[in-house]
Amino acid sequence: MEKSWKAAIKRVLMESDAPLHYTEISEQILSRGYYETDGATPAATVNAQLSSSVKHDGDKSPFIRVGKGIFSLRGETASTTLPGNKTKNQLPAVALEDVSSDSIIQSFGMYWQRDLVVWRNDLKMYGKQQALSKPVDFGKQKGIYILYDHHTVVYVGRAIDRPLGKRLYEHTVDRLGSRWNRFSWFGLLDVTQEGKLREIPFNSTLAALVATLEALLIEALEPPQNRKRGDDFSAIEYIQDIDPELKEREIQNTLRSIEQKMRGGA
């Protein structure tokens, strides 16, 4: 195990045949046990480590940014050919201002399952950046959401005056109650390293707003001719985590089932 995020990042990039996106770097760090963290935002931490090194250390940084969110080790040679017939050491560094983003969407979740949430008026909705990271409660998130009947969109709404969790709960008891089983959401609130939601200053250009709208449509509708996300969509996706109360219920049901079988075999 490495002693720092920076050392773990260098190790992953040294072992890779190609530049990697910071989310892939963080996932490999955790899955390979190169570094341990109790933080809720490992991908954001890795991105911050890389971006800070590139910005403040300049040519002395061991890392170079070769694309939007994609990094490689400086001066490293590799035989692997990348898109454009360029190897790792031939890829040019990209200036920070060329890849910065002012997207208003900070985080999102796609196709979360309704039956993995305990529905109540003040509910909790848990998600993780990665399987081994700390879960975050998005019940108080603000933004927009989509309800699906499997893959069919049945409703689009916004959660501003009332948080996301409350708005979704209302749809379990209103006219839509029996018409949806999955949902996606796009949040305006940022996630701290401790896993708390926070508001950040909103200062976006018209171009950024248009890019965000385009990205939302691409993410939500998944049109077959769009081969990439919308420009400037740098939000972090969170995978759904089952509510701990449901996990406890499942454990108790399993124990009762085992107990009944043991009694039946006695």
Q: Where are the domains of the chain?
A: 5-99, 107-244
Residue 99 confidence (pLDDT) above 50:
no
Q: What's the pLDDT at 81?
A: 41
Q: Which residue has the tokens 């927009």?
A: 144
The pair of three-digit structure tokens given for residue 148, joined into one six-digit string: 């699906």
Of 90-99, 132-141, 202-211, 214-223, which has the strongest mean pLDDT? Answer: 132-141
CA distance 149 to 35: 40
CA distance 127 to 149: 21
Q: Check if the beta carbon of residue 22 is closer than 8 Å to that of residue 47.
A: yes
Three-state SS for 221? helix
Q: Global pTM?
A: 0.71
Please give the helix or strand (H or E) that residue 49 lies within, else none: helix 42-57
CA distance 30 to 98: 29
Q: Read off the amino acid at residue 196.
A: K
DSSP state of 90: G
Residue 109: closest CA among 258, 237, 251: 237
Residue 250 confidence (pLDDT) above 50:
yes
Q: What percent of the chain has pLDDT over 70?
A: 85
Task: Calculate mean pLDDT across residues 210-239.
Answer: 72
83 vs 109, which has greater pLDDT?
109
Q: What's the pLDDT at 163?
A: 96
By the 10 Å C-beta count (0-12 exposed, 13-18 middle, 19+ buried), 93 is classed as middle
Phi, psi of 190 (to 5 degrees): -80, 160
Q: What is the CATH number of domain 5-99?
A: 1.10.10
Out of 42-51, 100-109, 131-140, 156-165, pick the least confident.
100-109
Q: Which residue has the tokens 């305990």?
A: 118
Of 19-33, 120-134, 162-176, 245-259, which has the strongest mean pLDDT? Answer: 162-176
Q: What's the pLDDT at 85?
A: 47
> Residue 226's pLDDT band (boundaries 50, 70, 90)?
low
